[in-house]
Structure 1
């Protein structure tokens, strides 16, 4: 990679061409992802508060490395929660 390519890609947050990719802090995901790699800002996923609690819809409002910041979809005034991708589930396929 020559210096022009390094300068154009900056800190490698986005690939050449400027399009975000999964894992980037600015990756805008699918509203209802079908694959964990599609989870990004604005995606609706399932998360739980604890092992004895049910799974609830949450919206991704931030990404910091491999940790997602979420807000409960039905309880937007509750504090933000943090979850790793392995602690999230996808909504079942079908009509929204």
Structure 2
């Protein structure tokens, strides 16, 4: 599923136009981005949590040459699925 497909499903589920479905999705995504940029996590009960994690600088290897390289520190987003979502994914009805 891509962003357009998700917008369409929002529009169908909320009984709104596709354009409004796109606006709703964009507002949700922008708010998640803004919260993460502020260092806040976003918890959606029953679904999961988006959190910003810091990755420290570390040594790595160039896979082509095997040469040691320094990997710079960075930030990444971690998603942890919620209990309800995990249960849904592992239920017999999920297939």
User: TM (normalized to structure 2)?
Assistant: 0.27
TM-score by length of 1: 0.27
Structure number with larger C-alpha Rg: 2
Please state which structure has a larger fraction of its residues in helix.
Answer: 2
